[in-house]
Amino acid sequence: METIQYIIIALIFIAAIVYVAKRFVPSKNKQGGCGKGCGCDFNPKQSE
């Protein structure tokens, strides 16, 4: 029974590491935006 618990904990830990890594690694297909990685289409010239 302990083995199943360790496997579940390891999967949650690995998922958390992947999530944090994706937040800090810049996206290769970003097409502009504000630089926060949210995908918005911010254009500072239009905000006047």
Supply the range of the domain harboring residue 36: 2-47
Confidence (pLDDT) at 27 = 63
The conformation of residue 46, written as its DSSP 8-state character, comes to G
Residues near 38 by beta carbon (within 8 Å), at least 6 away in sequence: none
Domains identified in the chain, total number: 1
- Write down the pLDDT at residue 23: 86
Residue 44, pLDDT above cutoff 70: no
Q: What pLDDT does 25 receive? A: 80
Tens-place pLDDT, residues 8-42: 999 999 999 999 998 888 666 555 556 666 666 66
pTM of the model: 0.52
CA distances from residue 29 to 4, 25, 32, 34 in whole angstroms, order as listed:
38, 12, 9, 14
* Neighbouring C-beta atoms of residue 36, cutoff 10 Å: 8
How many Cβ atoms from other residues are within 10 Å of residue 33's Cβ?
14
